[in-house]
Structure 1
Amino acid sequence: MPTFPRTAGVLAAATALSLGLAVPALAHVTVNPGTAEQGGFTKVAFRVPNERDDASTTKIEVSFPVDHPLAFVSVKPVPGWEVKVTEGKLPKPVKTEYGDLTEAVTKVVWSGGQIKPGQFQEFEVSMGQLPTDTDRLVFPTSQTYSGGEVVKWADEPTADGTEPERPAPLLKLTPATAGDGHHGTASSAPSAPAASSAPATPSVTPVAASASAADGTARLLGGAGLVVGAIGLVVGFLGLRRRPS
């Protein structure tokens, strides 16, 4: 039985060591989301964690690809940080649907702020039109710390799929799905209901009006009869008075 505690201790130490080695490997600069469709526009965030316990990240420099340049790049302001977008001449013109592209954004630098130990920051960029002749875009990035240390996240993806020591932020490009760019919108005008679905409007007969008219007619005829009867009485009375005694 004395070997059990020793074995448990060895396993615990090995587990702690493996976790300690795995955590720093996960704390690298990434692109989020990590995928986008070819030929379109997208918004991504460069997520930058601080790996140091005794220093803050004070500068981030992201290099944009020149072999697959992006014609449109815009950045979202980050409170406390200054941003500088650098454009440069391309090694050779690139044909796009907007014409030959001879210059494009080659670098974006954020500086002046702080990412303190135990924190991370996201730097958002809108960009396009994404190329259709490649399945990925790589953005080599330099991370500068307040102590002067510069960490370069610039390793290309490996052929066997294993993660390199300091991988560059990677945006995977997937084929555009059918029908993209033709998003249907619902009509704002409501459709006319079918004749059979709408309840038929009942024909309303003005019963009260008819009854009132009939009642008025009866009263008129009754009054006329009374007048005729009265005239007859008067005529009869006068005739009696004129008869000789």
Structure 2
Amino acid sequence: MPSSLPFGSPAVARLSVVGGVAAASALFLLAGPASAHVGVEPQGEAAKGGYAVINFKVPNERDDASTTKLEVNLPADHPLASVMPQPVPGWKAVVTKEKLAKPLEMHGNTIAEAATKVTWTSTGGKIGPGEFQQFPLSVGKLPEDTDQLVFKALQTYDNKEVVRWIEEPKDGAEEPESPAPVLKLGAATGDEHGGAGHDAGAGAGAEADKATAKTAAQQNGTTETASAGSGGSSDTTARVLGIAGIVVGVAGVAFGVLAGRRRTTT
């Protein structure tokens, strides 16, 4: 019996396939936990100088514990004057504010304090194994002098374990083991409230309504004109027929008179 299998034999091919699957599975298992971290994404677009609703997505990485608390630290180098959490059933949100060393100017008003942290604590809800939860937050005014905002987060489990997602990712470097959520900012839209699209849509709708009303008026006018024209034509026809009837009647009377005279003469 040969001590080795010849290259290209079916057995070697099967071994190669099995080895490839095993290697791919190992890579998948290694990559899986690294990608399951707390992240942040905007609903729509987070434009510089505007307002946005952002979602903090929190997955559960444990098989034997549930997440019961999330703390998100807001960027101190770019303070946000307006921070409002959306209610999440089973969770209580608390916004922590502090006085600013340098007040902000917003809409002609001076803002002396800003939110520094938002904490969501379970009041009956939890993120169980194999589950995730989103925590929406309305924020603004977004800064115009940076392309991203870093939110350092702490995730607490019901077994008292705390996972610190606080490592800031670096461009060109590998993702850290516990990366902090990073919000990418888009180009400024020229409307800090993000209402340009809505206003434009409303204006377009108003113009469309005006155009529709004008078209309807034109159609009504055309109908009325056509009706008036039809009425005028009918009146003219009636007059012509009436005159023709009179002429025929007179001709008949004249014919009768002439016929009577001829009989008398005879």
TM-score range, shorter chain: 0.7 to 0.9
Please show how residues 200-219 of structure 1 align to structure 2 within 5 Å.
203-204=229-230, 205-206=233-234, 207-218=236-247
Larger radius of gyration: 1
Aligned amino acid, residue 101 of structure 1: I
Hey, what's the Cα distance between the residues in 1 that align with 2:96 and 2:249?
101
Hey, what's the Cα distance between the residues in 1 that align with 2:183 and 2:53?
11
Aligned residue in 2 for 1:25: 34
Q: Which moved more, 1:89-98 or 1:198-207?
A: 198-207
Instruction: State the number of aligned residues.
Output: 229
Change (3 A) 1:117 1:182: closer
CA contact (8 A) 2:42 2:52 kept: no
Aligned residue in 2 for 1:124: 136
Hey, what's the Cα distance between the residues in 1 that align with 2:189 and 2:82?
22
Hey, what's the Cα distance between the residues in 2 that align with 1:8 and 1:209?
98
Provide structure 2 residue ranges, at least 5 long, that are not aligned to the other structure.
none
Aligned residue in 1 for 2:156: 144
Q: Which moved more, 1:17-26 or 1:95-104?
A: 95-104
Change (3 A) 1:98 1:51: farther
Question: Could you tell me which of 150, 165, 172 is aligned with 2:177?
Answer: 165
Change (3 A) 1:15 1:128: same
Percent identity of the aligned residues? 43
Change (3 A) 1:59 1:178: closer
Hey, what's the Cα distance between the residues in 1 that align with 2:97 and 2:31?
37
Aligned amino acid, residue 111 of structure 2: L
- 1:68 and 2:97 matched: no
Hey, what's the Cα distance between the residues in 1 that align with 2:251 and 2:89?
96
CA contact (8 A) 2:94 2:119 kept: yes
TM-score (norm: length of structure 1): 0.77
Hey, what's the Cα distance between the residues in 2 that align with 1:6 and 1:176?
56
Provide structure 1 residue ranges, at least 5 long, that are not aligned to the other structure.
237-245
Displacement of 1:212: 3.7
- 1:42 and 2:52 matched: yes
Displacement of 1:158: 2.0
Please show how residues 1-245 of structure 1 align to structure 2 within 5 Å.
1=5, 4=12, 10-33=19-42, 36-112=46-122, 113-177=125-189, 182-183=196-197, 184=200, 185-186=203-204, 187=207, 188-190=209-211, 203-204=229-230, 205-206=233-234, 207-218=236-247, 221=250
Hey, what's the Cα distance between the residues in 2 that align with 1:221 and 1:60?
108
Describe the superposition over 1:37-67 as per-residue Cα deviations: whole angstroms up to 9, x where unpaired: 2111111110011100111111111111122
Change (3 A) 1:88 1:21: same
Judging by fraction of residues, say which structure has more strand: 1
Displacement of 1:97: 4.7
Question: Any idea what SS the aligned residue of 1:116 has?
Answer: coil
Displacement of 1:31: 0.7
Question: Any idea what SS the aligned residue of 1:16 has?
Answer: helix
Hey, what's the Cα distance between the residues in 2 that align with 1:7 and 1:209?
101
Displacement of 1:134: 1.4
Hey, what's the Cα distance between the residues in 1 that align with 2:109 and 2:36?
40
Describe the superposition over 1:79-124 as per-residue Cα deviations: whole angstroms up to 9, x where unpaired: 1211112221123323445443320111111111201111111111
CA contact (8 A) 1:66 1:91 kept: no
Aligned amino acid, residue 82 of structure 1: K
Judging by fraction of residues, say which structure has more helix: 2
Question: Any idea what SS the aligned residue of 1:46 has?
Answer: strand
